[in-house]
Chains A and B, each alone.
Chain A
Amino acid sequence: MMNLAIETRSLTKKYGNTTVLDNLTLGIEKNTICGLLGRNGAGKTTLMSILAGQELKTSGQARVLGAEPFENAQVLAGLSFARENQKYPEEFKVSHVVRAAAWFYAGWDADLARRLVGEFRLPLKTPIKKLSRGQLSAVAIVVGLASRAPVTFFDEPYLGLDATARGIFYDLLLEDYMEHPRTILMSTHLIDEAANLLEHVVVLQDGRKVLDSSVEEATRSAFTLSGTATAVDTAVGGRQILRSQALGGLRSVTIAGNPDERLRTEAKAAGLEVGPVTLQELVAAFGLLESGESSLAAASSPPQTQHEAEEAIR
């Protein structure tokens, strides 16, 4: 499809006997901010590395801006990818990074770079190797945003940033994105914080895709029910429980699907609360299903594939 900025088909990556990406098929439309979510080791960075032409795939297809990215000068010229543990040239200072990045991008905005350096209070004359974790993240954010690359990857860009700096990042990202729409793929564990930015979400689990939908669709696909444990268990009936949390005699469950009128009436009568599910809760539900942390969910099969996952939340 011409409107896709990123597309993979049966993409697989193996390191020896370990499968890091397993038959992954997904598509991300142009000019969207997409969240790439999943637990550590789910394959998020590997996916971005392959899309950025840094890592070789084992099999399948990966296309960025309509073509295979590996050694494709035209495609890569429109990409920006700063790893969570990005390496920089030895002895480089922040000023060197900012100056050099300008040589790589047609759309580089020096004014925005200056503004970002100021907002994040980056010391220009400090060698990169002496920066704190948060300052390193800020350097990656400066390059990623000021590059205005048509496809920008952020790999956990908030690491080490305090709440204020994270807020600045989210605000500036959204502000610049509104003025200069582009495709942004961001891996993150801070889902609640980033939820308002994201239009699309892809959730990976052990190299497989378990969710790939718009955020709106995803959060509409489940709801929460909370109250006394007995009343909750009665009201749930045969519905698919994605996640269950208990505290004393109280229980809160995340249920796949939408609450029908009968459930709402029963819930009201039993003093239960029916609420919307947040993206964080939904993603946590997938994570917990996999690890078996949810006692109720353990009774049902965890969604292993995109199809099963979508079925589960329908």
Chain B
Amino acid sequence: MTTNQLSPALPEDRNAHRPAGPLMKIVRLHFADPMRLIGVPMSIFATTTAICVVIMLLLRAFVPMDPAELSEGFRYNQAPLWCFGGYFVSVGAMAYARTMPFAMGMGATRRQYWAGTAIALLLESVYIGVAMTVFLAIEKATGHWFTGTHMFDVYVMGNGSYLDIFLMGFGISMLTLFVGTMFASVFVRWNQKGVLLVVFGIIAVFLLLAWMLLTLGVDVVSFFSTDIVARVAVVLIVLGMLSAAGSWLVLRRAPVGR
């Protein structure tokens, strides 16, 4: 094979000679493969929705219950809460385990990489929040996927509230992505021992926090008694921010690329 035979296959990019800005190059790097952050989450939502519809059809065929009751029961569906979290933790982890050494080999600093990655993951969280909101709108418009199947119009995502589902989608994404980055940065710097210590440390902090709240008589239940979904989402966002800050503290002097 000669040069000429292969050359046309390489994408012609008129901007290729112009380098991106110090943060934009990192943001673009994360979205260079559109499947990973755009395509896969959509396919997860589509597949999970399809599975829920199939389950609904099976229930309607074999369970002697009123379809309206079945449909109401589906409001307790927690699939949207869990379906993409694991994938996003791995995406966050890979951002530091594999993409960072590549970026630094091409002259990025840790600071640039962390900030660019934070922007990319926040954009991704917005994307998921918007996508779930759009899915909710479609679900409502189609009479819950023509079968009464509740996938996004569920209690845990705000029971049909567009604001709540956006906040939950954004919050879950942000938390899982940044938790992934935090554990990966700990691994990069201190290997498995560090990860174990951080896990135990986080458990200890949560136990201490719970003990303090109980001792001080803080009424946590009443805090969540109104606008529970939105408030949980805010807690997820705050935890995501703490994870992002933690990953920077760990990363700023971590060896990269070994």
Contacts and interface: CB of A to CB of B under 8 A. Distances in A.
Interface of A: 49, 52-56, 71-73, 76-83, 86-93, 95-106, 108-110, 113-115, 117-119, 121-122, 124-125, 143, 147, 149
Contact of B11 (A76, A99, A104): A99
A103 B19 contact: yes
Given A118-B3, A121-B6, 10 more contacts: A52-B104, A54-B105, A73-B22, A73-B109, A96-B32, A96-B33, A103-B19, A115-B3, A118-B4, A125-B9
Interface string B231-258: 0000000000000000000001101111
Contacts of B19: 102-106, 108
Contacts of B24: 103
Chain A interface, >50% SS class? loop
Q: Which 3 A-B pairs have the closest CB atoms?
A: A118-B3, A103-B20, A104-B106
Interface in B1-28: 1-7, 9-11, 13, 15-17, 19-20, 22, 24-25, 28
B20 A53 contact: no
Q: How many B residues touch the partner, as a band?
A: 35 or more
A124 B98 contact: no
6 contacts: A52-B104, A54-B104, A71-B109, A90-B94, A92-B33, A118-B5
B99 A117 contact: no
Contacts of B2: 118
B3 A83 contact: no
A95 B105 CA distance: 17
Given A56-B253, A78-B107, A102 B13 contact: yes
Nearest to A147: B106
A259 to B, nearest CB: 46
Nearest to B21: A103
Given A80-B105, A82-B105, A99-B32, A124 B97 contact: no
Contacts of B112: 73
Contacts of A98: 10
A224 to B, nearest CB: 40
Contacts of A72: 109
B207 to A, nearest CB: 33
Contacts of B9: 95, 124-125
Interface of B: 1-7, 9-11, 13, 15-17, 19-20, 22, 24-25, 28-29, 32-33, 35-36, 94, 97-99, 101-112, 252-253, 255-258
A114 B10 contact: yes
Nearest to A121: B1
Contact of A87 (B6, B98, B109): B98
Contact of A53 (B16, B25, B104): B104
A95 B34 CA distance: 13
B28 A103 contact: yes
B98 A95 contact: no
A311 to B, nearest CB: 36
Contacts of B6: 114, 117-118, 121-122, 124
Given A87-B97, A104-B25, A110 B16 contact: yes
B17 A54 contact: no
A163 B99 CA distance: 31
B105 A52 contact: yes
Contacts of B22: 73
A82 B101 CA distance: 9
Contacts of A52: 104-105
